[in-house]
Structure 1
Amino acid sequence: MLFLYLMKVSMLLAILTLGYRWLIQFETFSKLNRALLWLNVAAAWSLPLIPLADWGPVEVQAEFHQTIPKIAEAIPVVRQEISSFNPAPSIINRQHLPQWNFMDVLTLIYLAGVAFTAAIFLFQVGRLIRLLWKSPSQKSTDGVIFICDEHNTSPYSFFRWVIYNPQNHSKSTLQHILAHETEHVLQCHSLDLLLAELQRIVLWFNPFAWFHQRLVQANLEYLADRGVLDRGCEKKEYQFDLLRTVLQNRELPLTNSFAQSLLKKRIRMMNKKPSHYLAWGKYGLLIGILYLSSAFVAPYTAKVTEFLPPLVGVVFEAPSQTDAQVERPIETKQNLIPVAAPKAITTIDSSQTVKPEKVKSKWIVEQNGTLYYAISPLATWDDINEIKKEVKRFGAEMNINSIEYDPLQKFITHLTVHIETKGGSSKATEGEGKFVPMKGESGYIGKSQMGTGGDQPQLVKALQDDYDKALEFAKAHETEYFEYRLVQKINDEKLGSSSRGLEKGALEGEHAAEILSSQGVGKSKDNLLKLTSMHRDAECYLDSQPTTLSELNELPFSKFKAIKIIRDSRGKEYIIVYSK
């Protein structure tokens, strides 16, 4: 029974871990991903014990349980051959010999593996507790305990403790390190690591338990990085500090380290734009996988009369950012740049001056007690976050209710901004189409009034400059947008499509003759583009303008850039030629 249960847990954990890895891992909803990783563990260990309810895939489960005996009955020859190997009764007296069977050996191997991994874990935890016990500490107002360890090479956190060596890092790097580790402590990340570690010990034979632990660790690093950046830390400087410390190693379990080896993924997540709302479909797909998988692991019953109540979801929230947040000057080669840091860090060096935060952004202008802001079509999320922080400083709350980008993700096409204060609220929507940049959204907040628009000259000029740049980009990539619309039209008609593209260099290389023969595209002897009769029924376009096959064959090859051939499920072809 134990091995059957562990096999079911392992199978379900493998399915959910792979589903998370392929569908969810790099979505920016890191808090939701944290809850989902907890749900994966809870489902893997509970579903094999819970009979399938009436709403479950009972028919699938019944078919599965009925198929297995049929398969076994279909191989009588194998059973007969196996039984023929049973030896004749022996005359040796076995009364005093231990009766070992295959399951006993498996149990012994499994328990030995659990004991070995648990012993290593306990030994390392013991070393960590001994270090915490004998080292001097300093407690911050947030309850974070900082410990200086002269032998430490890479800072890390463990529940309420942050262990670091100030001699190994510059002043600015140390501030980023402590801000990062403080986020781990405030968000209780050690609980996640403890759960993943215990699961890995119990399922030491399952590679997906080890893989799940790495996914948990990666997501916690994404959460801590995002927490530090949301507190106002300068992204590029923070990433440089990551690079400077990432080569340092640690060997203690249950700890969150600033110098994690998944540097590339962390920087990728920090620079990634927030996931589109369509990404929620991936979460629905993973829940569907969990729903179907329950048919193969839950205990089979013909009729369920009682079952457990539904699980209550746990909502994980990052610690709130209070107005008491302070700045710490970070030393660079040029000057001192104020960067917000957690209040806990101020307890380490109280001699530093605390100054009110002043964010200098070209999209924010403060005049005569009124805050003017603007969001251009080329605005980044860093720009928007800076604006939101300044708006909050003026006693208002800015929410981006919706934001859409062009298909190439280069400029904002649609934006809805909602500003709320104690005295009222305002909402503005900007955007004209999916392929057209918005002109920009602006507004102002004063002591007794607020609104959208405003004629602040500096912001008006900046908005116009970015709008012109976005229009210029849209015009330069008009053919790409046309291709996107064409494919979208085919899909809207519920016709599947496939496509292949060829660059100019491919039609002049060593495989040019083969491409001309197999795909009907090449270069003629007269240095013209050549499309064979293979495409005589195709719908042709030169850039975004309709044309004919004969006109395409008159295009000088020097003006040719690339070709895209799209085919729908009916076999109809669409040819788009990109020209210089």
Structure 2
Amino acid sequence: MEALYIYLIKSSGLIALFYLAYYFMLRKETFFTSNRWFLLLGLFTSAVLPLVVYTKIIMVESSSKNIDWSRIPITNSIENEPFEINWYIVFGITYAIGIILFMGKFVFDFYSLNTVLKGKTIQNQADFKFIDTTENVAPFSYFNTIVYNSSLYSSSELENILEHEKVHSDQNHTVDVLISRLFCILFWFNPLIWLYKKAILQNLEFIADNEATKKISDKKAYQFTLLKITTHENCVAITNHFYQSLIKKRIVMLNKNQSKKSNSWKYVLIIPALVAFVILFQVNVIAQEKTAVQATTEIIKANEKSVDVYKINKNTTDEELKEKSSNLKENYAIIATFSGIKRNSKNELTAIKVDLKKGKEIAQKMETKGTEAINEFGIIVSKDDNGMLTVNFGSDETIINQESIVIAPNAPSVSEKEIFINGKKVSQDDLDKINPKEIAAMNVNKNDDKQEIRIITNNHRKMINENDIYINNEKVSQNELDRLDQSKIERMDVNKDDKTIRIITKNGIQYSQEKNLPVPPTPPTPPVFNIKTPAPPAFPKAPKAPKGDPIKGDKKAWKEFEKKMEDFEAKMKKLEPQMEAFDKQMGEFDKKMEPFNKEMEAFEKKMKVYEQQMEEYHSNLERERKK
């Protein structure tokens, strides 16, 4: 609902911009047709431009913090919950009621129009339909239908009136009237939209007067007709009618000299204002943390002996992609598949999907697509002294996929880091004793070359989530609680009966991060296995073939090679039962991983929602910063 309010505010601002530009610069000009399109363009621009968003990526330092619950004093108290009004709902209901009322008025006007037209005799002439009614209504046109009462006017006056209405009908001015009415319904709360509609209708009359007088010999007689019609105020809504209350302005415009063509530069002045609107409000800033890249780079430098980077940029050809796939297969037995390839008119890559596989050990993928050329990225393959193989996607600015796949007999040690469980500092032994299934959330922070691992258990998180949280007597969400600066907490009371947690701060609420910062979803916990990760059998080393040709070369050496090959094949045959057992173990391992893989798919969907929330958050942050 907040997004709807923001859209209505932006659109209302653009409507005001176009109306003020017309009122102060174009209202007195005789560019009536150009003014018509300017006013219509203003309405459509106001509806569409707030939906156009441009994305800008900036790099920021990580500022994640966790609440140390062990440092907060806890007491018990009972307090009544304060009454709260949800203003979003109040404004939403008010807006809906306004739309219903004005839509009802719109439908009633159609009914009134149908009452006037129903059962009347129609005379067809060229592209027009004429209805000569006996009712006391002002002459009007509705699309190609023109209604008038001939008994009220002389033949010359009727001729002037019909020429005027023919212009309305021929130029489809009824469409402008209906569009302006619809915008009045949607933006009924904006007082300028009613002035905007009045400006549109008035300009249509200027157009009809200007075109009609070109076909009428007596211009003064036409003006006298305008004065006579002012006595007929019974007009039909949602139509172009000859009578208008601003007859004086119409007569002034009829006698005004044509504006100079050089004054048309005024239309261009709206463009800088629209550009400023896009820059200030329609640029979506996405922040990406630098620490993820730095941590990954440090791990690579500390643990890896050799690193191969297969770079892919916008100018990479299909032949080069095939070569990289061949090299990955030859050097690391990794099957790289490139699909979803799209290029623009400059033959630059705009979309590509990369799938990496190595048996059942590696299954990694990455996809990037858009209308612009892709940023350069690389497939990073590294290997350390212990034979641990790591595969990751990365670039100079950001890690495209922060989850790398590591093949190693043992996980890297975290004993050098500071470890906190539920806010209390613990040792590596304490961490080893925790059942992974009890972990609700785990954050890894690095500040000033100091790494911390902070873990929240299910029991602790359950205690927090089951209670309503109040900060300074104002109910807040878990997100706002996580962002509270611990040093500013004076007292925290926990009421088990009412299931409430009430926090009093020293000098008002002070957050450690910006307000409304979205909270990322918690990744699933990997399953705990009672068996070790299956290890493949130790394969014998294949003999090296001697140099030269088997026939013309060293025959003795080739005979020895053939004998070694027979021994090698015999050893490989003996390994077949072990290979079957290894395949069976891998099958069991895969079955146990299936639930975790499903949880990871659900986690990835939540991450996409979180990324959208972060985009909106940074867009609002940038907008507030520029105010």
TM bin (shorter chain): 0.3 to 0.5
The structure with the larger Rg is: 2
TM-score (norm 1): 0.44
